[in-house]
Amino acid sequence: MRPGKAAHADRCPVSAVMGLRERKKLEAWRTIRSAALGLISERGFDAVSVEDIAAEAGVSRTTFFSYFSSKEAVVYDLDPEEVRQWRALLDDPRDGQPLWAAITEVALGLAQLLSERLPLQKRLFEQSPELCRSARGTCDSFEPDLKLWLAARVPDGDELRTALVFNTALAAFTTAIEAWDPDDPFETFLESVRDCLRWAGAGLARTGS
Amino acid sequence: MRPGKAAHADRCPVSAVMGLRERKKLEAWRTIRSAALGLISERGFDAVSVEDIAAEAGVSRTTFFSYFSSKEAVVYDLDPEEVRQWRALLDDPRDGQPLWAAITEVALGLAQLLSERLPLQKRLFEQSPELCRSARGTCDSFEPDLKLWLAARVPDGDELRTALVFNTALAAFTTAIEAWDPDDPFETFLESVRDCLRWAGAGLARTGS
DNA sequence: AGCGAAACCTGAACTCAGTACAAGTTCTTA
DNA sequence: TAAGAACTTGTACTGAGTTCAGGTTTCGCT
């Protein structure tokens, strides 16, 4: 039997035994990201170059791009640990729940998961149109997973309607983000997410509240 | 009384008397755009540089950027003539119609307006992830106008709900675009737009068709 | 007709994101 | 511990987007 490294290191709070290489990689990832967020949140997104970030993280520009696929990605990408939580969120069977209710739960779970990052991100959006324009990129990490999840739940539904459900849920979520003031308590944001999903679920053609 | 140039040239099918300067500008705009679309649709978006386009249009790179704010913009931006039609579409009072019905009409009108361009655009999306990623930019020209229009119709409604209505309508529209095969007849696309808006209006939490 | 101002076009020089690659370093595994 | 895979780095390149000074065209007015 081998020393560390049992079977596969897919479970456990990530940090478990997983080889020097992997551990270093995660560490480097986090170093780069926090260097980036530090610089960006004090100078603003546009005023920080990838070179600045790399220098601050003590790493080369080339290496930066081997960890993040773009400058925006360093703001959007999920920590591996968060990815794990996200998958766990989707793996919950949620049997018997109607589709829209299940979606609402996933959305709220996601919001919780992002609670640390979101206020900062929102503030960055406000000051940098550059970044804001690519805001849709936030979802790039979620989209594939979420589409699979949806497809599994609506096995034979028609394509168009399934896509609509997905995009509308996303619209509800981003609407809540747009409307949220990052200085307000996070609970306010969660309320908005709930409201938006409820309204969209009930039908927007309905007048009144 | 002066010769040409009566009052202001805001009405009329644009092409009316409007000064040499303006006419040249419009002409240059169209030359650049069609040079761009020509090159792009034969070589693909990524394989054409701004320099290529400028050269093909017989104009300098600098000038290109004085007409279009980015390389993507040359694909997305509306011809001034189309802008005129778009504004006309929004100016129609549509009295007495419930909000969602009015939105549906605007969306269908917009689709009609884009009918020429859309098949090509869709094909470009399919081949260039680069371009596709910034697809949301398509709406950048519509967003401000549309938000004003909406705000005028829901004068005292709450912000969040208004934003949700807007984003959901947009989601419905883009869903129809995503699902559409540009080789199918345009009517198919219009049907999808109608369906998506109807479903979103009726409430996505409702199961079944 | 003609003149001054404003708008326009252009080439050159620059910044920065993103990619390619070859050469060096570090970890893994058997 | 040696072969090899994975990772890092500097260098060099492409291409988008900006700035700017200087030249040309059009406009408004007389």
Alpha-carbon span A146 to A198, nearest angstrom: 19
Please check whether residue B129 touches A, CB under 8 A: no
Asked if A137 reaches chain B (Cβ–Cβ under 8 Å), the answer is: yes
Q: Which two tokens stand for residue B164?
A: 């949700």
Nucleotide nearest to A69 (CA to C1'): C18
Query: Under 8 Å CB-to-CB from B128, ≥6 apart: which residues?
Result: B44, B45, B46
Q: Which nucleotides of C are covered by protein (CB under 7 A)?
A: 7-12, 15-21, 27-29
Token pair, residue A9, equals: 């290191």
**Chain A: residue whose CA lies nearest to B160:** A179
A81, A13 Cβ separation under 8 angstroms = yes
pLDDT in tens, chain B (209 residues): 333 333 333 334 444 568 889 999 999 999 999 999 999 999 999 999 999 999 999 999 999 999 999 999 999 999 999 999 999 999 998 988 999 999 999 999 999 999 999 999 999 999 888 888 887 777 778 888 999 999 999 888 789 999 999 999 999 999 999 999 999 999 999 999 999 999 999 999 987 54
**Segment A131-144, tens digit of pLDDT:** 888 877 777 788 88
Q: What is the pTM of this model?
A: 0.89
H or E segment at A181? none
CB of B72 lies under 7 Å from some atom of strand D: yes
Estimate in Å the CA B72 to C1' C19 gap, whole number: 21
CATH number of this structure's domain B5-76, picked from the four choices 1.10.10.10, 1.10.10.60, 1.20.140.10, 1.20.1250.20? 1.10.10.60
The verdict on a CB contact (< 8 Å) between B134 and A137 is no
Between CA A146 and CA B145 the distance in angstroms is 32
Q: Which residue is nearest to nucleotide D6 (CA to C1')?
A: A21
Question: A203: which chain B residues are within 8 Å (Cβ-Cβ)?
Answer: 200-204, 206
Q: Does the beta carbon of A162 lie under 8 angstroms from any beta carbon of chain B?
A: no
Q: What is the pLDDT of residues A28-67, one digit of tens each?
A: 999 999 999 999 999 999 999 999 999 999 999 999 999 9
Residue A141: per-residue pLDDT: 81
Residues comprising chain A, all counted: 209
Nearest CA-CA partner of B68 in B5, B106, B25, B110: B25
Interval B98-107: pLDDT, tens = 999 999 999 9
Whether chain A has a CB inside 8 Å of the CB on B200: the answer is yes
- N-term to C-term CA, chain B: 65
d(CA A80, CA A174) in angstroms, rounded, equals 23
Torsion of CA A79, A83, B172, A193, to 10 degrees: -80
Whole-number mean pLDDT of chain A? Answer: 88
The CATH number of the structural domain formed by B80-207 is 1.10.357
CA B187 to chain centre: 18
- Show me where the domains of chain A are located: 5-76, 80-207
CA atoms of B186 and B117, how far apart (whole Å): 11
Residue A155 corresponds to which tokens in the numbers above? 């096995």
- H or E segment to which residue A39 belongs: helix A19-43
pLDDT in tens, A5-22: 333 333 344 445 688 899
Protein-to-nucleotide distance from the CA of A113 to the C1' of D5, whole angstroms: 35
